[in-house]
Structure 1
Amino acid sequence: MLAKRAVPSDQNVHVPCNLGFFHKRCELLHMLPLVSILREIFDLFVWDNESECIALTDVLDCLRSMGMDPSENWLHAKMSEFVYRERNPLAGGKMPKRVNFELVLTLYCCLANSPETNGTASREEMLQSLRLYDRGQTGKLAYAFLRKLLMTMGNDRLTESEVFHLLNSCSDPAGNVYYEKLVDQMFMRDRNAEEKLHQSKIYLQAVGRNAIDMDLSKRDDFIDALRQADPQKTGFIEPQRLLVLLNSGDNQFSCDELDQLTKSMHDVGLKNRGIDYRRFLKFIMND
């Protein structure tokens, strides 16, 4: 079912910081509507619905469709970092050819946390650049000049429709644009940016750090199996029953291995009720 790992060493509604570790992906997406939007963008790049992955060569375009603008060098450096972290580099860890939504969302969070790596100028940087063209310090620039600037320069180019709505809301009857008001409008374009990042972090915390290189359909199936095995929702499962669920897939855990993995997951006062399977899932997905 799950990969065998080593023994340890409403969109504008603000979502609580912790949803726990026992939700399937579809449930998380329902609770995190802004992450669901990002998932819909990701799905546009999925060609093989069974694998639920996209080609590494599509990751840049996918992130750009999500509103980010990473460079190829940045992406290669980040992917190399993940390969090094998840696989022993001495064992010949290679760059994956396909990546899942959780890895793309992790990259999205890295970019959203660090605007300077996203190729996005700050509000003050943009204002300083525009002031260079305002030799008379009037606070205004020509409509035609700004229209051309917004549609042809930089990485975050706007469409003609976007430019029309932006400039018309900031212009005077003489055809000049109050550029400080324009910049304020531009930096308000994604009003949900902060909440989108907040929900993305919650999603990644809920699925666990190992999600970026796992088949999460198996995790969802495992959660379903645990729920069926515990209809009373006690939160515990007998060791032998858990062993059967784990070994129903490609992996084979022994009784000794399972005992070593779960020896700290028995409640001292309720040991006869079995293993705390939520803690077990959290461990599998994070260690």
Structure 2
Amino acid sequence: MSCTVNQNQKQNQNPTQDNIQKIVQNQINNQNQKQIQIQPANQFQGDNNAVSSFWTCEELLQALSQVLRLREIFNMFARFSGSNTIDILKVPECLHAMGLHFVESTLKSFLSERLLKFPQSKPPTRVSFEFVLSIYCDLSSLEEVPTAAVMINGFRCCDTQNTGELPYNMLRRMLTLVSERLHDTEVSSLLDNMKDDKGNIKYVALLETLFPTDIDASEKLRQARLYLNALGKNASHMDMHKRDEFIRALRNLDNTHTGCVGTDQLLSLLNSNGDRFTVTELASLTRGMTNCKKQVDYRMFLRLIMND
């Protein structure tokens, strides 16, 4: 079985193996004629009333089941470190476990861009769930990696007899050319276990294994954006445990549920964590957030901290 044809027959017969990458890529491009715009999490236009920016992370996770599942996967990578972070080198593996497929060079670009936004002069070697989730949203907004259906349609061009099978060597070369994420050793290991006595492989089952369809992908992305939108754009490089402690302390101070606390109470709470805010500094930060009783709208203050 071969896809090789003479040069003058190319327009009338099946494409050569060397052109299979172009065929698959064209099918991907046809599905994505409109350029996909990456939408920052803090600009998500979905159901913003579903969650509140004054909820703790635990409360948000309980309301967003898909994000909770992603968090549980992240925790599997974090549990051996004794912290709520994972090694930056584990991020690709974690994202794959979350069901995401991506081009490695694109991931590296997103990682570099987000690490540069950290306030520290030296980028961290360990990152939080919120950081990984922000990368998840960035990559989920792209469609660089073909789906199983697209790949199957492309490979059928070489299956001239419509047997559903292709030779081992042909598939091996195709797969290492088509997708950057499939390395030669990975492909060889998988194909060795699937070839029959004649050296042929049922490529439909193979491609469905390599490019599984995540039926919850769109809902995962929607909920992930809701979660990050509620936390604010600084969530990736801030301590969420301290944020949640701050929220609980404010709730305790506001026992009448007015949504406001006195400036002296807020100043005392801020400095109890080791900060050194002055009355003048706090007045400048809370300008436009105080009422006639000189009380601060603490929800507005929290949004300021998490977004500016």
Q: Hey, what does 1:97 align to over in structure 2?
A: 125
The Cα of 1:273 is off from its aligned counterpart by 6.3
2:103 paired with 1:60? no
2:172 paired with 1:141? no
CA distance in 1, matches of 2:203, 2:90: 38
Distance 1:95 1:73, change over 3 A: farther
The Cα of 1:190 is off from its aligned counterpart by 1.6
Matched position secondary structure for 1:54: strand
Could you tell me which runs of 5 or more consecutive residues in structure 2 were left unpaired when the two chains were aligned: 1-45, 195-200
Matched position secondary structure for 2:257: coil
The Cα of 1:73 is off from its aligned counterpart by 3.4
Distance 1:122 1:213, change over 3 A: same
2:271 paired with 1:238? no
Pick from 139, 146, 167: which aligns with 1:121?
Answer: 146
Matched position secondary structure for 1:115: coil
CA distance in 2, matches of 1:285, 1:110: 20
Distance 1:109 1:79, change over 3 A: same
Distance 1:272 1:201, change over 3 A: same
Pick from 285, 293, 296: which aligns with 1:275?
Answer: 296
Matched position secondary structure for 2:54: coil
The Cα of 1:60 is off from its aligned counterpart by 1.1
The Cα of 1:199 is off from its aligned counterpart by 0.2
The Cα of 1:200 is off from its aligned counterpart by 0.2
Query: Quick one: which amino acid aligns to residue 253 of structure 2?
Result: A
Matched position secondary structure for 2:164: strand
Pick from 108, 115, 120: which aligns with 2:136?
Answer: 108
Q: Hey, what does 1:16 align to over in structure 2?
A: 47
Q: Hey, what does 2:279 align to over in structure 1?
A: 255
The Cα of 1:68 is off from its aligned counterpart by 1.8
Conserved 8 A contact 1:21-1:282:
yes
Distance 1:66 1:184, change over 3 A: closer
Could you tell me which runs of 5 or more consecutive residues in structure 1 were left unpaired when the two chains were aligned: 1-14, 165-175
Pick from 81, 87, 104: which aligns with 1:48?
Answer: 81
CA distance in 2, matches of 1:212, 1:132: 45
CA distance in 1, matches of 2:212, 2:74: 24
Distance 1:188 1:53, change over 3 A: closer
Conserved 8 A contact 1:63-1:70:
no
The Cα of 1:80 is off from its aligned counterpart by 2.2
CA distance in 2, matches of 1:195, 1:38: 12
Q: Hey, what does 1:213 align to over in structure 2?
A: 237
Matched position secondary structure for 2:86: strand
- TM-score if structure 2 supplies the norm length? 0.68
Conserved 8 A contact 1:20-1:206:
yes
CA distance in 1, matches of 2:209, 2:95: 23
Distance 1:84 1:69, change over 3 A: same
2:52 paired with 1:29? no
Deviation beyond 6 Å, 4+ runs, structure 1: 156-160, 181-188
Distance 1:24 1:239, change over 3 A: same
The Cα of 1:79 is off from its aligned counterpart by 2.5
The Cα of 1:83 is off from its aligned counterpart by 3.0
The Cα of 1:64 is off from its aligned counterpart by 1.0
CA distance in 2, matches of 1:76, 1:188: 23
The Cα of 1:256 is off from its aligned counterpart by 0.6
CA distance in 1, matches of 2:231, 2:110: 20
Structure 2 counterparts to residues 64-79 of structure 1, below 5 A = 64-79=96-111
Distance 1:83 1:94, change over 3 A: same
Conserved 8 A contact 1:83-1:94:
no
> Who wins on radius of gyration, i.e. which is larger?
2
Post-superposition Cα deviations, 1:62-94, rounded to whole Å, max 9, x if no partner, equal: 11111123454333322221233334xxxx832
Q: CA RMSD in A?
A: 3.3
Conserved 8 A contact 2:159-2:165:
no
Post-superposition Cα deviations, 1:210-251, rounded to whole Å, max 9, x if no partner, equal: 111111100000000000001121111111001111110121
Query: Quick one: which amino acid aligns to residue 194 of structure 1?
Result: S
Matched position secondary structure for 1:22: coil
Pick from 84, 102, 112: which aligns with 1:80?
Answer: 112
- TM-score if structure 1 supplies the norm length? 0.73
